[in-house]
């Protein structure tokens, strides 16, 4: 076959034409559902219309309408078209054959409000090539198009549960089940993996009856399953949204008539109102909803009751997650001990915030780490939102005597002279092999770590065990809390940062999630 040229693959809806380049077959912008536009806005996904002839699949599909993130380092350098017609996926595969390769389906992050499977950092080339796996990246509906419950406020006229974005993910996995064998993949060996809201999505899919059987392994990066809404909270968000739009409750026809731009403007105002402490909405006003049907229960509880018994999981976080978000927190500059205590009291209501702060102070001082109010706050927030939920989800899975693996990523970003530490999203370039000079660094050490992580991720996808030559044996998470440290010094340790973990033992899941 020519080194560069067109290739044809068959799907259940028709033939598509991709490209063959540098040893990979690449298909971009493959429709997996009908456009969720017009009357389909806010409805569950439906199959696309079959087509005759050959559909081009050489350019990425549009991203879901969204507002750029406040944190510039998380926004892609490339401009991408946006449209409510956004349900497309992308495939990188070493061969259109019967090799039955492991399949890795990527669910992007972005707080359930931004992102796309086509961002350059998620380029599947290196992962597919190095691991001889099929990589699929997907889009799903975001923000008010995919995660707002309108069923109650419209008296059922718009039946949106607030989980339409998750249903899109399930629909993409159904496409993988039905089609991936034509792309050299094994539909009976599918790993879902995601980061941030993508990791939270993975955790939520572990609890969703409609997702059962569509995947066999799961990797959760910097996101677990705690960040879901109660129905009561979701209704409160929907009422706020309607108030911003000036739409009366029950105004389904008016809602459907609004333009994409009008809905995005209202979403921006919703974010402003939700950040007001008086709103009671805390983090992520738009997120999956535990409404009893699509999502019957909080994911950690569902997993503890057996919803993911047939799935092997790998879960991890970055050591300094919150340092990234601290970039846009203007109040941190003036934080003192009193303000630190007040913020912790608000974030962890009902807990002994003073004791929590002191535990972090002593543990960090004992390791020679800084203990300024800002350092203590970022460490507490990193654990509250990311590490503790990850540990609890893993423990729920392990309580069923199921295999779980844990990691902690501690590579330090060279950006801003190391001030970001091992912050949120830093591991992405290492997993995909898309390192850059500024955020991840491109030194020999960085490239070596990236190769080790790609080998571990693809080994896990292949066999359910991330053990690989570069890292050595990676033991399952057990009573000793075995955790692989991924950074300059990769090693398996027991119970890292355990003093801090124990400080959260009496804090209930509902507080961690602001349920």
Does an H or E element contain 431, and which? helix 428-432
Who's near 296: CB < 8 A, 6+ residues apart? Answer: 207, 209, 290, 302
Tokens (6 digits) for 140? 């799903």
- Strand, coil or helix: 450: helix
Active site residue 196: yes
DSSP codes, 166-189? HHHHHHHHHHHHHHGGGGTEEEEE
- Nearest in space to 237 (alpha carbons), one of 195, 189, 199, 269: 269
Burial 313-342 (b: 16+ CB within 10 A, else e): bbbbbbbbbbbbbbbeeeebeebeeeebbe
Active site residue 321: yes
Q: Is the dihedral of CA 228, 229, 230, 231 positive or negative?
A: negative
| Among 84, 152, 321, 500, the one annotated catalytic | 321
Instruction: Count Cβ atoms within 10 A of the Cβ of residue 76 and give its class: 0-12 exposed, 13-18 middle, 19 or more buried.
Output: middle
C-alpha to C-alpha distance for 324 and 233, rounded to whole angstroms = 27
- Terminal CA-CA length for the chain: 54
Tokens (6 digits) for 27? 């298909």
Burial 235-260 (b: 16+ CB within 10 A, else e): bbbbebbbebbebeeebbeebeeeee
CA 55, 56, 62 angle in degrees (round to 5)? 105
| Among 216, 226, 227, 424, the one annotated catalytic | 424
Do the Cβ atoms of 413 and 442 come closer than 8 Å?
no
Tell how far CA 418 is from the center of its chain: 25
Burial 6-34 (b: 16+ CB within 10 A, else e): ebebebebeebebebeeebbbbbbbbbbb
| Among 196, 382, 422, 459, the one annotated catalytic | 196
Q: Which residue has the tokens 């401009």?
A: 79
Within 10 A of 210 (CB to CB), how many other CB atoms are there?
A: 18
C-alpha to C-alpha distance for 342 and 356, rounded to whole angstroms = 12
C-alpha to C-alpha distance for 128 and 138, rounded to whole angstroms = 15
Active site residue 424: yes
C-alpha to C-alpha distance for 331 and 198, rounded to whole angstroms = 28
Instruction: Count Cβ atoms within 10 A of the Cβ of residue 278 and give its class: 0-12 exposed, 13-18 middle, 19 or more buried.
Output: exposed
Tell me the catalytic residues.
196, 321, 424
């Amino acid at each position: 076959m020519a080194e560069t040229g067109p290739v044809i693959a068959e799907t259940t809806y028709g033939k598509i034409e991709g490209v063959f380049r540098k040893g990979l077959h690449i298909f971009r912008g493959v429709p997996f559902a009908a456009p969720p536009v017009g009357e389909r806005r806010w409805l569950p996904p439906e199959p696309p219309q079959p087509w005759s002839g050959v559909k081009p699949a050489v350019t990425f599909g549009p991203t879901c309408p969204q507002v750029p993130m406040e944190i510039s380092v998380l926004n892609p350098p490339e401009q991408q078209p946006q449209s409510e017609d956004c349900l497309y996926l992308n495939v990188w595969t070493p061969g259109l054959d019967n090799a039955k390769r492991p399949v890795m389906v990527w669910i992007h992050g972005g707080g359930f409000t931004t992102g796309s499977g086509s961002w350059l950092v998620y380029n599947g080339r290196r992962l597919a090539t190095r691991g001889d796996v099929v990589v699929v990246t997907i889009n799903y509906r975001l923000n008010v198009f995919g995660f707002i419950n309108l069923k109650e406020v419209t008296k059922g006229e718009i039946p949106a549960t607030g989980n339409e974005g998750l249903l899109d993910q399930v629909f993409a996995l159904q496409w993988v089940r039905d089609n991936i064998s034509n792309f050299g993949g094994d539909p009976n060996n599918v790993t879902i993996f995601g980061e941030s809201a993508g990791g939270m999505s993975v955790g939520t899919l572990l609890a969703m009856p409609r997702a059962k059987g569509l995947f066999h392994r799961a990797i959760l990066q910097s996101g677990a399953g705690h960040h879901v809404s109660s129905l009561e909270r979701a209704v409160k968000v929907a009422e706020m949204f309607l108030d911003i739009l000036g739409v009366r409750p029950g105004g389904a026809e008016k809602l459907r008539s609004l333009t994409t731009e009008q809905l995005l403007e209202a979403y921006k105002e919703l974010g402003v109102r939700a950040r007001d402490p008086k709103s009671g909405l805390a983090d992520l006003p738009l997120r999956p909803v535990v409404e009893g049907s699509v999502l019957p229960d909080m994911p950690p509880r569902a997993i503890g009751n057996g919803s993911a018994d047939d799935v092997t999981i790998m879960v991890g976080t970055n050591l300094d997650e919150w340092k990234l978000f601290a970039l846009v927190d203007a109040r941190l500059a003036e934080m003192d001990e009193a303000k630190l205590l007040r913020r912790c009291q608000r974030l962890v209501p009902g807990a002994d915030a003073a004791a929590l702060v002191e535990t972090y102070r002593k543990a960090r001082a004992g390791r020679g780490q800084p203990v300024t109010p800002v350092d203590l706050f970022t460490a507490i927030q990193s654990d509250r939102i990311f590490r503790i939920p990850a540990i609890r989800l893993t423990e729920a899975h392990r309580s069923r005597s199921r295999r779980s693996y844990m990691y902690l990523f501690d590579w330090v970003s060279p950006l801003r002279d190391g001030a970001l530490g091992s912050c949120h999203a830093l591991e992405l370039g290492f997993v995909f092999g898309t390192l850059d000079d500024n955020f991840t660094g491109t030194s020999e050490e960085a490239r070596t770590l990236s190769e080790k992580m790609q080998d571990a991720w693809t080994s896990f996808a292949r066999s359910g065990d991330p053990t690989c030559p570069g890292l050595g044996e990676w033991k399952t998470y057990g009573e000793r809390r075995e955790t692989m440290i991924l950074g300059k010094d990769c090693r398996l340790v027991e119970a890292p940062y355990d003093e801090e973990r124990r400080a959260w033992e009496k804090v209930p899941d509902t507080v961690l999630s602001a349920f």
